[in-house]
């Protein structure tokens, strides 16, 4: 069994027109807070997204220069992801987790553990634990709904869809219940200029808790104050020390 997906064909719904002058989103901090450098062997992480139709692959580096997906190959239960840094980009000199969205190729089964091997400009591997609650079929089109998944204890990957030039920025993230997390995005300025495309945007939120992360709910307060509740994919238990 072997499947392959190339990133250039992922977002078929993208509109080609781009507004001139769109760069980093307005309101984003000039010097993002850097995360602590991960321990050896934990330099990559992964989370189920889009009801199992996609995966957020987490790497560490400049928060303003997220790596792009070159290709993803599935072979006998192992997914190899080729990532590349942007060329000729000016990046902030911090060290933070960033997530790259990887559409799951046909044959990926979210109800079974998946070994994710990262290569290209990054290297590492992580076992993405199964989650039988996910019902999306890898290879099928997305429904463009927001989703979220645990990439390890305290690290939440959130997927939203919209302008690739104006990704959401986390204003606050906190455990608000035994099995609930609330994340609030910053409200963008009215004069913010964005690309006119429909693309997957991954945002990482770090949170202390909740007490029971497996089966937890995310209360997401959006960029324009819309509020949605959605399940957080992932099967972290109290004994999980990641």
The pLDDT value given to residue 100: 97
pLDDT exceeds 70 at position 107 = yes
Separation of alpha carbons 97 and 70, rounded Å: 19
In this structure, the dihedral spanned by the alpha carbons of residues 207, 216, 67 and 199, taken in order and rounded to 10 degrees, is -120
CA distance 237 to 156: 15
Residue 9, helix vs strand vs coil: helix
Comparing C-alpha atoms, which of 91, 90, 73 is closest to residue 82? 73
Task: With 0.85 as the threshold, say if the pTM is over it.
Answer: no
CA distance 68 to 36: 23
Q: For all residues of the chain together, what is the average pLDDT?
A: 83
pLDDT band, residue 24 (cuts 50/70/90)? very low
What is the mean pLDDT of the segment spanning 122-148? 94
Cα distance between residue 130 and residue 109, in whole Å? 8
Q: Which residue in this structure is represented by tokens 């509740």?
A: 229
- Alpha-carbon gap, residue 156 to 147, rounded angstroms: 10
- The pLDDT value given to residue 17: 36
Specify the pLDDT at position 39: 38
pLDDT at 38: 40
Ranking 63-67, 100-104, 120-124, 234-238 by mean pLDDT, the lowest is: 234-238
Is residue 128 predicted with pLDDT exceeding 60? yes
Q: DSSP states of 19-62 as a string?
A: -TT--SPTT--SSPPPPPPPPTT-S-EEEEEGGGTEEEEEEEE-
Tell me, what's the pLDDT at 196?
A: 94
Is the pLDDT assigned to residue 120 strictly greater than 90? yes
Query: What does the DSSP assignment read for 70-112?
Result: EEEEEETTEEEEEEEPPTT----S--EEEEEEEEPPTT--TTS
pLDDT tens-digit series, residues 192-204: 999 999 999 999 9
Highest mean pLDDT among 6-10, 29-33, 52-56: 52-56
Other residues' Cβ atoms within 10 Å of the Cβ of residue 8: 9
Return the SS3 of 121: coil
| Closest to 160 measured CA to CA, from 83, 54, 8, 15 | 54
Task: Assess contact for 70 and 120: CB atoms under 8 A.
Answer: yes
11 vs 213, higher pLDDT: 213
CB of 155 closer than 8 Å to CB of 236: no
The phi and psi torsions of 182 (rounded to 5 degrees) equal: -115, 125
More confident residue, 240 or 228: 228
Candidate from 23-32, 101-110, 212-221 with smallest mean pLDDT:
23-32
């Amino acid at each position: 069994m072997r499947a392959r997906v190339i990133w250039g064909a992922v977002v078929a719904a993208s509109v080609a027109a781009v507004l001139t002058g769109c760069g980093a989103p307005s309101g984003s901090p000039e010097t993002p807070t850097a995360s602590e450098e991960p321990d050896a062997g934990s330099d990559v992480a992964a989370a189920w997204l889009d009801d199992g139709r996609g995966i957020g692959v987490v790497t560490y580096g400049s928060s303003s220069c997220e790596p792009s997906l070159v290709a993803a190959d599935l072979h006998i239960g192992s997914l190899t992801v080729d990532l590349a840094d942007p060329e000729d980009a000016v990046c902030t000199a911090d060290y933070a987790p960033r997530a790259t969205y990887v559409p799951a190729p046909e044959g990926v089964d979210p109800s079974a553990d998946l070994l994710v091997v990262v290569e290209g400009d990054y290297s590492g591997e992580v076992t993405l634990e199964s989650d039988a609650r996910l019902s999306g079929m890898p290879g099928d089109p997305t429904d463009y709904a927001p989703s979220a998944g645990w990439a390890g204890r305290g690290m939440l990957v959130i997927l939203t869809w919209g302008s690739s030039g104006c990704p959401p920025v986390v204003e606050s993230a906190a455990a608000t219940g035994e099995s609930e997390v609330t994340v609030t995005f910053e409200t963008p300025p009215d004069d913010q200029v964005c690309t006119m495309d429909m693309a997957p945007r991954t945002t990482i939120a770090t949170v202390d808790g909740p007490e029971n992360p497996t089966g937890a709910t995310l209360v997401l307060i959006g960029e324009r104050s819309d509020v949605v509740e959605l399940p957080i994919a992932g099967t972290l238990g109290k004994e999980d020390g990641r």
